[in-house]
Structure formats: structure tokens, C-alpha cells
Amino acid sequence: MRRRIQGRGIYYRISAGAYTGWWVGEYYPKAFLRGEYLTTVYHPQRTLTFPADKNVTCFRFGTDGAVGSTRTVRFAKPSNAPFDRRAIVNGRPMCKITAGALTGYWVWAGDVLTDGR
């Protein structure tokens, strides 16, 4: 079970083993739920902006939620890309790019600006 505990963040309830019934905090990359959760789909798609002169890693995931490939990009000037969904993927808020060389890749929302933020 994945649950937000007020004032504490996201926690998981352990359902089997020696720690059954205990709660453990979500902390990427040590403790997270694998795969895509809490997806919001945007129609029409939105635009995200990669910052200038910063390495940003983009991820492509397999059907089991494991990282299939990564690609690190760096732009001299701020660069835009369209995205059509935002979700928690492997414990991190991410956006899925829908056009250009990064089509199908996810980018951590903390590395880019979305909707001017």
C-alpha cells in the first residue's frame, strides 16, 4: 500500500516478511514503487523547458518499470519539448516527452520547467 502521511511524505506498508505491517518512507532510489502511478494525461499536450547549460538525464522504461535506456542532454539555450502526461514513475514525478529526438522518454520534473514553474 502506498499512502501519503500528513506532514511526513509518502510511505509504503510492508505486506510480507519480518517487517509485515511496518511503514517505510519513499526515498528514491532506495525505496520506491516500480512503474507508472497517479498518471495525469493532458489534452492538449503541454510544453516543458530544459534549462540552459545543465545536464538533464531522460529515461525510457520497460514494461516492468525497469530503466531500459537513458539519454543525457544539455542545451546552450533553454529548449522546449511537448509532453502529454505527468506521473510518478519509479518514485519520482516525471513528464513523458511526445515529439522530437526524445519522443517516448521521461524526464524528472525537478530538472525542467513545466507551465512556467
pLDDT tens profile 51-65: 999 999 999 998 888
pLDDT confidence tier of residue 117, bands split at 50, 70 and 90: low
Q: How many CB atoms lie within 10 A of CB 79?
A: 16
**Per-residue buried b or exposed e for 81-102, using 16+ beta carbons within 10 Å of the residue's own CB:** bbbbbbbbbbbbebbbbbeeeb
Per-residue model confidence (pLDDT) at position 2? 83
Q: pLDDT digit string (tens) for 101-116?
A: 999 999 999 999 998 6
CA-wise closest residue to 45 among 106, 91, 102, 86: 86
